[in-house]
Amino acid sequence: MGKNWGNLILFFSFIYLLTIIILNKQLYSKKFNFSQFEKKYYSSQWAIPHSKNVISDEDLYAYAGFKYIKGLNPIHLAPEVPPLGKYLIGASIYLFNNQRVASLIFTLLSLAVIYHLIYFSTKSNFASSLGVLLTTLNTLFTDQIIHSPQLDIFQLLFLLLFIILFMVYRKTNSRIYFFSSGLAFGYFISTKFFLLSFLIINLTLVLYFLISKTRMIKSFIELTFLNVISLAVYMFTYVGFFMYGGSFRGFLGVQKWILQFYSSSTIDITKLLGNYLSLIFFNRYRFWSEGYPIIHYQYWSFFWPIIFILALFSAYYLVISKEYKKNDLVIFMFSFLIIYNLLLFVTPIYPRYLLLLFVPLNILIAIYISKIIHRKISIFKF
């Protein structure tokens, strides 16, 4: 019965997602026009200081991705963001003559990994399907289809891949899965601002090791090798820089410039503390432009606060549950949510930053509902 309901939920999720795609099919059938994007870039704020012709992140990444795939040194265009995501967008242009197809592929792959991640923990088709449905219905997720290409959907998939590969490693002690999880870690930090991404995973792992009471020596060894692998991947994504004669010292200089680029911001963080909670609960948040105006997100949903609160309850009861308090996935998700919430609390946000928050929340809700159903079935059988 549970399997039948699970299949029905998956079918509904597929139909809903397909509807979104069909309604926006022109975005995925439109051919990439390089001249148009080049004109946008050279009249934008990136080429002309204080220009009123602002180029969006989607268009900037598409233009940069095309130039990268044609051989441009990645530090010469939009260097403030690591190159991997832009290479993926460039590959989409090269293969499909459209900058958005890669986002669609990563969207579908993310749903597949969410299903398998929940199934890995619960062995429940129903719970796994529910996690897919909750993610599909989230407007932050479908926004990645409508306003693409963005880097967040790429980073989401890499995060999910890291988690599932690391979970399988913890269960099987297989070196292949450990190495693969290190690669996914590297892809994650190579998609958006390196330092924040690097801290997110490392702090999550440290907290996870502490809660799961992993032996200190084992934790240190795993953390060290994961960092070595991920940093090697990060360096490799700058292959275009090294092909043009860049040195390791030059690479470090680029990273220093990126850090200075972000640290030179004049944003008053004290005016934005906890800004993400106001967005989740009331659809209002302060943007970090002059005067810190209050902004509303057009795709906000009243389900956001419901999901947020329900997930917090789910996380709490799962962590204190005898059955799940030693569950690696639950502990890791719980650790990640603590770290990511703390980061969001002190970070100027765009709504899309909440994508990495809500997907783990959906996963914990699905696992908790699976626990409740399993308990009721056991009582009924008894």
Instruction: Please answer whether residues 275 and 286 qualify as being in contact, where contact means their C-beta atoms are separated by less than 8 angstroms.
Output: yes
Stretch (H or E) spanning 286: strand 285-286
The Cα–Cα gap between 286 and 71 comes to: 39
pLDDT in tens, 221-249: 999 999 999 999 999 999 999 999 999 99
Angle value at C-alpha 274, between 269 and 280, nearest 5 degrees: 135
pLDDT in tens, 299-332: 999 999 999 999 999 988 888 887 766 789 999 9
The Cα–Cα gap between 229 and 184 comes to: 9
Q: Residue 380: its pLDDT value, please?
A: 44
User: Rounded to two decimals, what is the model's pTM?
Assistant: 0.94
Q: Residue 292: its pLDDT value, please?
A: 87
Q: Which two tokens stand for residue 332?
A: 């890791």
Nearest to 63 by CA among 50, 76, 52: 76
75 Cβ partners below 8 Å, 6+ apart? 238, 241, 246, 254
φ and ψ at 43, to 5 degrees?
-110, 5
Q: Which two tokens stand for residue 3?
A: 């399997």
Nearest to 333 by CA among 369, 373, 367, 370: 367
The Cα–Cα gap between 284 and 287 comes to: 10
Residue 294: helix, strand or coil by DSSP? strand
Q: Residue 324: its pLDDT value, please?
A: 67
Q: Residue 382: its pLDDT value, please?
A: 44
Which residue stretches of the chain have pLDDT < 70? 1-3, 324-325, 374-382
Give the HSE-up count for residue 306: Cα atoms under 13 Å, Cβ half-sphere. 6
The Cα–Cα gap between 278 and 378 comes to: 41
Q: Residue 190: its pLDDT value, please?
A: 97
Q: Residue 85: its pLDDT value, please?
A: 96
Q: Count the neighbouring beta carbons within 10 Å of the beta carbon of residue 192.
A: 19
Q: Residue 6: its pLDDT value, please?
A: 84
Give the HSE-up count for residue 90: Cα atoms under 13 Å, Cβ half-sphere. 17
The Cα–Cα gap between 279 and 273 comes to: 12
Q: At what angle do helices 328-345 and 194-212 cross, to 10 degrees?
A: 140
Q: Residue 375: its pLDDT value, please?
A: 64
